[in-house]
């Protein structure tokens, strides 16, 4: 083996040993670089006699070409290896099952509200929704709620530090009763032409479910809870109609005839007379206890005026029912806070 053959053999094993591009390029420099072995050999040619210089020069160049070919092969090997490592690292296991999206479901309060909507819809009630940020006028004034009424105080109502375009303070509605006013005014406007032509205005029959807010928080009170407002206004819709309607609702909702309904005298500025509605089951886990479920009464004439209607011809009742309370009674839940904690162990039981 002459010196050039062994140089070639050394280059081959050096190149083969390189595991990374940088190592290979260092090895290349040792042979082909400015001070590399081949460059040194070429420099040495000058000292040889002309005949020898020619053959030796050709041999060296051949060896150089050989080393360059080895280098190209080594570079290809490294880039292939690099690609393979990358492919392996980024490999997709197409046999893995996909990640499943958890199946969502309706919250027990949403279910309850839907159920209540369906029952009242079957009795001819419309369903209406309205804003949770209300004006002072809608929340109180229009509902015959005098300026100094305690419900207006900061202890009960969350105020929004902002006024509407007409300079009225805004609040988070403390009850759904503003929806009586909004809906009845809309109804009055819709049928104004027909009424002025002497035709009878259709009855107002609506329920309005939604979130309400009060400064209150313990096992039975949450600063946010749900109410369902009801309003039935006609030529002469009476307290008797309220009793019949509400009892029919309770029968449907709890799927039982075994209960009593009691109208307990109470006070609300927007109704006269006013009553709390209590129910008592004759059997089941809640049997024997009076349970308060709604406030109610005949709509006050001043409130009918806020509706833009005439209290002589538009007469009826309103009620405001606690939706969370209805859900708790139906499902046998004793702590209101469970409803709003968002704990899936609790919520998934209702799916």
Binding interface with ligand PHE (CB under 6 A): 175, 177, 268, 271, 295-297, 318-320
Which residue, 112 or 271, has its beta carbon nearer to ligand PHE? 271
Query: Which residues are CB-neighbours of 11 under 8 A, at least 6 positions away?
Result: 27, 31, 67, 70, 71
Which residue, 210 or 320, has its beta carbon nearer to ligand PHE? 320
Which residue, 249 or 268, has its beta carbon nearer to ligand PHE? 268
Query: Which residues are CB-neighbours of 315 under 8 A, at least 6 positions away?
Result: 233, 234, 235, 236, 237, 238, 298, 299, 304
Nearest-5° angle of CA 275, CA 281, CA 284? 150
Question: Minimal CA–CA distance to 321: which of 216, 220, 209?
Answer: 209
Q: Please state the closest distance from residue 294 (CB atom) to ligand PHE, in A.
A: 7
Which residue, 245 or 296, has its beta carbon nearer to ligand PHE? 296
Which residue, 108 or 295, has its beta carbon nearer to ligand PHE? 295
Q: Please state the closest distance from residue 327 (CB atom) to ligand PHE, in A.
A: 17
* CA 139 – CA 179 distance, rounded (Å): 9
Q: Please state the closest distance from residue 216 (CB atom) to ligand PHE, in A.
A: 12
Question: Minimal CA–CA distance to 111: which of 208, 253, 207?
Answer: 253
Q: Please state the closest distance from residue 144 (CB atom) to ligand PHE, in A.
A: 11
Instruction: Compute CA distances 103 → 100, 241, 343, 351, whole Å.
Output: 9, 42, 15, 10
Q: Please state the closest distance from residue 172 (CB atom) to ligand PHE, in A.
A: 13
Question: Minimal CA–CA distance to 271: which of 345, 348, 177, 341?
Answer: 177
| DSSP code, position 278 | E
Q: Please state the closest distance from residue 98 (CB atom) to ligand PHE, in A.
A: 48
By Cβ distance, which residue is nearest to ligand PHE?
320
Which residue, 14 or 229, has its beta carbon nearer to ligand PHE? 229
């Amino acid at each position: 083996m002459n010196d050039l053959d062994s140089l070639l053999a050394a280059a081959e094993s050096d190149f083969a040993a390189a595991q990374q591009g940088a190592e290979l390029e260092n090895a290349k420099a040792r042979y082909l670089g400015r001070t590399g072995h081949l460059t040194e050999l070429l420099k040495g040619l000058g000292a040889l006699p002309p005949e020898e210089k020619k053959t030796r020069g050709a041999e060296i160049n051949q060896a150089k070409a050989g080393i360059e070919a080895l280098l190209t092969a080594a570079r290809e090997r490294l880039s292939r290896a690099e690609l393979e490592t990358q492919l392996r690292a980024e490999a997709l296991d197409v046999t893995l099952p996909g990640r499943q999206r958890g199946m969502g479901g309706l919250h027990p309060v949403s279910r309850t509200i839907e159920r209540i909507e369906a029952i009242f819809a079957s009795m001819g009630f419309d369903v209406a929704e309205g804003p949770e940020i209300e004006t002072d006028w809608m929340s109180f004034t229009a509902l015959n709620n005098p300026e100094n009424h305690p419900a207006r105080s900061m202890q009960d109502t969350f105020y929004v530090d902002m006024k509407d375009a007409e300079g009225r303070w805004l609040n988070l509605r403390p009850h759904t009763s503003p929806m009586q006013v909004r809906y009845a005014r809309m109804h009055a406007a819709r049928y104004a032409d027909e009424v002025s032509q002497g035709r009878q205005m259709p009855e107002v029959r609506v329920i309005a479910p939604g979130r309400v807010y009060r400064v209150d928080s313990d096992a039975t009170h949450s600063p946010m809870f749900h109410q369902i407002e009801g309003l039935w206004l006609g030529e002469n819709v009476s307290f008797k109609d309220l009793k019949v309607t509400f009892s029919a609702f309770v029968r449907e909702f709890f799927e039982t005839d075994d209960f009593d309904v009691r109208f307990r005298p109470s006070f609300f500025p927007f109704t006269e007379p006013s009553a709390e509605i209590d129910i008592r089951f004759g059997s089941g886990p809640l049997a024997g206890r009076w349970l308060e479920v709604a406030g109610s009464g005949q709509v006050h004439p001043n409130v009918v005026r806020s509706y833009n209607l005439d209290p002589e011809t538009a007469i009826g009742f309103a009620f405001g029912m606690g939706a969370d309370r209805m859900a708790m009674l139906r499902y046998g839940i004793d702590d209101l806070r469970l409803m709003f904690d968002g704990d899936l162990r609790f919520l998934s039981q209702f799916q």
